[in-house]
Chains A and B, each alone.
Chain A
Amino acid sequence: KAGVTQTPRYLIKTRGQQVTLSCSPISGHRSVSWYQQTPGQGLQFLFEYFSETQRNKGNFPGRFSGRQFSNSRSEMNVSTLELGDSALYLCASRPPGTGELFFGEGSRLTVL
């Protein structure tokens, strides 16, 4: 069974630009969560989607947004990038009926 797939794996942007990251969950998983990981703050929850609906949102500014499609694939978008947005963005999917998260390899964003 294929794991969680994230694209792109690496990207470099400049301040003020926007970025869209994509995530394909494990087949059969309908819940997708996004996390930001930085050396200083660790893993921080961004949002969770289930059946195309955002169920939970972390404490991030409105520049961070996401969506989920009918095939459970998810995207997150960050607008007006700031230097502090440089991080590893991790997507995780959850099997039905469990609390376990399975992470993709992540998208490493560098903002210059």
Chain B
Amino acid sequence: QKEVEQNSGPLSVPEGAIASLNCTYSDRGSQSFFWYRQYSGKSPELIMSIYSNGDKEDGRFTAQLNKASQYVSLLIRDSQPSDSATYLCAVNNNAGNMLTFGGGTRLMVKP
């Protein structure tokens, strides 16, 4: 079992819809959770971080964390074609300061 799991997709949504990306993790002691966006041929870019249970909103993005169920999700409202990218979930495990990344979910937003 991978430590951080994501559906590889592609997840296809129409422009203007809500895109929902999910991630589960195995280390119950994980404390910090991050979402990165990676465009094809580019490096990962941090878009959200979340540290406590509940929702955290930043513009069109909402991160949701449920430590009891060991999942974290990212909602993108009013999806735009420019949101088409691979979204990586990352978890800071208890072993140190390293981040463990999921395999990423490829999102396609169709005009």
- The residues of A with any CB-CB pair to B shorter than 8 Å are 31, 33, 35, 42-43, 45, 48, 50, 55-56, 58, 88, 90, 94, 98-106
Q: Is the CB of A43 within 8 A of B97?
A: no
Q: How far is the CA of A98 from the CA of B47 in the complex (A)?
A: 15
Q: How far is the CA of A99 from the CA of B42 in the complex (A)?
A: 21
Q: Which of A55, A58, A106 is B97 in contact with, Cβ under 8 Å?
A: A55
Q: Is the CB of B101 within 8 A of A42?
A: yes
Which of B45, B92, B97, B101 lies at the interface centre, i.e. has the most chain A CB atoms within 10 A of its CB? B97
Q: Is the CB of B97 within 8 A of A99?
A: yes
Q: Which bracket fits the contact residues of B?
A: 20 to 34
Q: Is the CB of A56 within 8 A of B95?
A: yes
Is residue B46 contacting chain A, with contact meaning CB distance below 8 A? yes
Q: Is the CB of A103 within 8 A of B44?
A: yes
Q: How far is the CA of A76 from the CA of B34 in the complex (A)?
A: 25
Q: Which 10 A-B pairs have the closest CB atoms?
A: A43-B101, A99-B32, A103-B43, A56-B96, A99-B92, A42-B103, A45-B98, A56-B98, A106-B43, A103-B44
